[in-house]
Structure 1
Amino acid sequence: MKIAVFSTKPHDREYLDKFNSNNRHQLTYFEAPLNADTTNLALGFEAVCIFVNDKIDAVAIDKLFKIGVKLIDLRSAGFNNVDIEAAKKKNIKVMRVPAYSPEAVAEHAVALILTLNRKTHKVYNRVRESNFSLENLIGFNLHGKTVGVIGTGKIGVAFCQIMLGFGCKVIAYDITESEKLKEKGIEYTTLVDLFKNSDIISLHCPLNLKTKYLFDIKTFSKVKKGVMLINTSRGALIKTSDAIDALKNGQLGYLGIDVYEQEENLFFNDLSESIIKDDLIERLMAFHNVLITPHQGFFTKEALNQIAITTLKNFTDFEEGLLLENEVKL
């Protein structure tokens, strides 16, 4: 099957080629993102393979349908960037990688917590300049702190288990409760109580109409003053302008994000010689208590292996008319 792979970086090519060694699938790589303006690149292909910052809205879907694309395969678990209903109307199948390495993302969330708390990123730069002072480096013990987890799917479960290992009290919120976590002593609570009682809040929920801007000015007014907020899920769970206000007035004590609501114009690119035209992220980077990483939570060897294996399996299942176990359905 002829497949156009969009938003390609060197690691995408490396891992997909590694597991497509028999060249069963004809993969053509494009560095460009796929959106309504670039669908012409998919002409002559039966399927497209996309990543988190490709935008497949109804207009893009219609254009893909007209040039004969029958499958959209995401190299990610989230699918908020695809208009699933529009794809269904055009009988274009949408598939994804529902789980690749929950531990990879969960461990990165913990890395953000530890770095923000113990300021190891600042120490690294200080020591390289022969500055061994401890001034302004005081952190806090994680042991005994209350950690609120919003979203207890596979990544959320992995994160909860890690935080239990630190001796934290873990509380959670999800529309579907995990019996496995309850058995470990994790208490499910309301969002209001989670906001009020958590010293650290970590987001592991999908982005949809109900969760967009879950953290806005109203939410920040409800959290414990000085709370640490971690987001390794999707950028638009947090309204950035409101987070900046919460940081300025001290309601938000720390912010660690691996995702950003306007990241498609920034992340995965080297912009070191460019002028950043996004005033919000520039403002965020000015805070000493904000840590930003460029959507690297998934970026481990184990995760990349599994993403490639599942992505290629999705192509094979579709081509052979097998049950599409990773199909996204409404």
Structure 2
Amino acid sequence: MNVTVFSALAFEQPFLDQANAGRHAVQYYAQCLTDQTVPLAQGAAAVSVFGSDDLSAPVLAQLWAHGVRYVLVRAAGTDQVDLPAAHRLGLRMAHVPDYSPHAIAEHAVALLLALARHLRRADQQLRANDFRLDKLIGFELRGKTVGIVGVGHIGAVLAGILHGFGCRLLGQDLRPDDALRQRYGLEYVDLPTLCAQADIVSLHTPLTAATQHLFGDELLGQLKPGAVLLNTGRGGVLDTAAALRALASGQLGYLGLDVYEGEQGLFFADHTRDPLRDATFAKLLTYDNVLMTAHQGYLTREALASLAAAAVAAFDAWGQGQPAAHEL
């Protein structure tokens, strides 16, 4: 099968090549899929895309016109996909929902620990020969109440990790899991209760019309004063402007982000020579109690190998006339 891979980052290509082992003819392009780059897919039966690619109805129609019949999203989130349009066209769509929930959950904990112990400030001070401890008093995780919003694969792994730290666990999900209740003592509650009781809130819910800016002024205002908020899910779940207001008032004590609602066109590229034109992003960076990473939660060797294996397995299945795992 001829496959065109869009948004092909250099570090992931060896993993895809190893998983493919020459079975499919793969063409890599660093460019995102847009209405301007669709012609790059000419001659391919399948394309693989990433989270920043455009899968709106017009782009999907152009893919079909160029002969593409299969689309694999190398990610769990599919909020950028116009699924009704894909189904009308007859495009077969699949994604990779569980390539490594451990990678994301562990990154959320890394952000949390770094914030709790002021590691960014500590590193900066040490490198400046400043060994004072006055501004580095942190807090322990043991005994803290953690609210997990979206207790799917990633949220369940996070629950296990934080249970090991001795945290009390609250969860909010449309499908409560009794096994997590029994294993970790996780208590399912509604969002207002979760916000009112949690010292730490971690967001792992998919981005949908219902969850767009789910955490805005109203829910942020219901957080315990000084609470920690983590988002390693989708940037649009958090209203960044509202988060800035909560930081300014002190209502939000710490903010750890691996995703950002304005990340498209910013993340995954070198902008060291460019002026920073996103005023909201620039404002976030002025806060010592904000720690941000550029959507790298998935970036482990294990996760990249799993993503590549799942992508190639989908191409194998489609090439054999079989449905791929996790078709949409």
TM-score range for the pair, normalised by the shorter chain length: over 0.9
Shift of 1:98: 1.7
In 1, the alpha carbon distance for the partners of 2:126 and 2:252 equals: 28
Q: Deviations over 1:148-176 (max 9, x none)?
A: 00111110000011111111101100000
Shift of 1:45: 1.3
The aligned amino acid for 1:49 is S
Indicate if the aligned counterparts of 2:313 and 2:324 stay in contact, CA closer than 8 A: no
Shift of 1:301: 0.8
Indicate if the aligned counterparts of 1:36 and 1:56 stay in contact, CA closer than 8 A: no
Indicate if the aligned counterparts of 1:155 and 1:204 stay in contact, CA closer than 8 A: yes
In 2, the alpha carbon distance for the partners of 1:319 and 1:87 equals: 19
| Pairing 1:300–2:300 present | yes
The aligned amino acid for 1:56 is L
SS at 1:112 equivalent: helix
The aligned amino acid for 1:107 is E
| Pairing 1:143–2:148 present | no
In 1, the alpha carbon distance for the partners of 2:255 and 2:275 equals: 24
Shift of 1:92: 0.4
In 2, the alpha carbon distance for the partners of 1:58 and 1:218 equals: 33
The aligned amino acid for 2:142 is H
Shift of 1:97: 1.0
Q: Deviations over 1:228-267 (max 9, x none)?
A: 1000000000011111111111111111000011111111
In 2, the alpha carbon distance for the partners of 1:37 and 1:251 equals: 44
Shift of 1:188: 0.5
In 2, the alpha carbon distance for the partners of 1:161 and 1:153 equals: 12
Shift of 1:326: 1.6
Runs of 4+ with >4 A deviation = none
The aligned amino acid for 1:44 is G
Tell me what 2:199 maps to: 199
In 2, the alpha carbon distance for the partners of 1:192 and 1:147 equals: 14
In 2, the alpha carbon distance for the partners of 1:272 and 1:137 equals: 30
Alignment of 1:277-296 (within 5 A): 277-296=277-296
Shift of 1:133: 0.9
The aligned amino acid for 2:14 is E
The aligned amino acid for 1:113 is L
TM-score, length-scaled by structure 1: 0.97
In 1, the alpha carbon distance for the partners of 2:279 and 2:265 equals: 12
In 2, the alpha carbon distance for the partners of 1:97 and 1:313 equals: 11
Indicate if the aligned counterparts of 2:41 and 2:63 stay in contact, CA closer than 8 A: yes
Tell me what 2:118 maps to: 119
Which segments of 5 or more consecutive residues in structure 2 lack a partner in the other structure? Answer: none
Shift of 1:129: 2.2
SS at 1:31 equivalent: coil
Shift of 1:281: 0.4
| Pairing 1:231–2:234 present | no
Identity of aligned residues (%): 39
Q: Root-mean-square deviation (CA), in Å?
A: 1.0
| Pairing 1:265–2:268 present | no
In 1, the alpha carbon distance for the partners of 2:104 and 2:48 equals: 22
Shift of 1:31: 0.6
In 2, the alpha carbon distance for the partners of 1:90 and 1:226 equals: 49
Shift of 1:83: 0.8
In 1, the alpha carbon distance for the partners of 2:134 and 2:272 equals: 30
In 1, the alpha carbon distance for the partners of 2:243 and 2:325 equals: 38
| Pairing 1:132–2:118 present | no
TM-score, length-scaled by structure 2: 0.98
In 2, the alpha carbon distance for the partners of 1:45 and 1:101 equals: 28
Indicate if the aligned counterparts of 1:36 and 1:57 stay in contact, CA closer than 8 A: no
SS at 2:146 equivalent: strand
The aligned amino acid for 2:264 is E
Tell me what 2:47 maps to: 48
Tell me what 2:154 maps to: 155
Q: Deviations over 1:189-243 (max 9, x none)?
A: 1111001111000011111111111111111121111111000000000011111
Tell me what 1:14 maps to: 14
In 1, the alpha carbon distance for the partners of 2:228 and 2:66 equals: 47
- Length, aligned pairs only: 327
Tell me what 1:253 maps to: 253
SS at 2:4 equivalent: strand
Tell me what 1:311 maps to: 311
The aligned amino acid for 1:318 is W
| Pairing 1:30–2:29 present | yes
SS at 1:265 equivalent: coil
In 2, the alpha carbon distance for the partners of 1:166 and 1:191 equals: 23
SS at 2:236 equivalent: helix
Indicate if the aligned counterparts of 1:258 and 1:292 stay in contact, CA closer than 8 A: yes
